[in-house]
Amino acid sequence: MIKFFLMVNKQGQTRLSKYYEHVDINKHTLLETEVVKRCLSRSNEQCSFIEYKDFKLIHRQYAALFIVVGVDDTETEMAIYEFIHNSVEVLDEYFSRVSMCHHTWLIFVFLVETGFHRLARLFLNS
């Protein structure tokens, strides 16, 4: 089962997060900091699958954006790795390579919410 979905930039700032299990709001920042630190510290030659606490982290880099998915032990790493790629393809097609620097913050917030809706539909269909 997918526990969370994160989009993070190279500086380690979370740009998008969605939790599918309850995590105390005070623990979000700590969890994201630890997860991002582990994923961003790895080189391109290292595996994209990391054992972390009671779940697995699967991450992939697209330009300056890292996508990290936390799952439990029942999920197959390669299936989630492919899911990340498919998610990026769906978002890329829907948003037509929208760049945040060309749009206002308000439009970005709308797109994020639409993106969550699209990802939720992708989760339900897979």
CA torsion 124-38-26-3 (nearest 10°) is 20
Q: Which amino acid belongs to residue 48?
A: S
User: Would you say the pTM of this structure is higher than 0.75?
Assistant: no
C-alpha angle with apex 5: 98 to 77, nearest 5 degrees?
115
Reported confidence tier of residue 122, pLDDT bands at 50, 70, 90? low
Please give the single-letter amino acid code of residue 93: E
CA-closest candidate to residue 3, choices 74, 55, 77, 60: 55
- The domain defined by 2-124 folds into Beta-Lactamase (3.30.450)
Q: What is the pLDDT of residues 28-68, one digit of tens each?
A: 888 888 888 888 888 878 888 988 888 899 998 887 888 89
Contact indicator for 20, 1 with CB cutoff of 8 Å: yes
Largest CA distance in the chain: 41
All structural domains of the chain with their residue ranges = 2-124
pLDDT digits (tens, 9 = 90+) for 77-93: 999 999 888 878 777 77
* Residues 94-110 pLDDT 10s: 666 544 444 344 445 55
When comparing pLDDT for 8 and 121, which is higher? 8
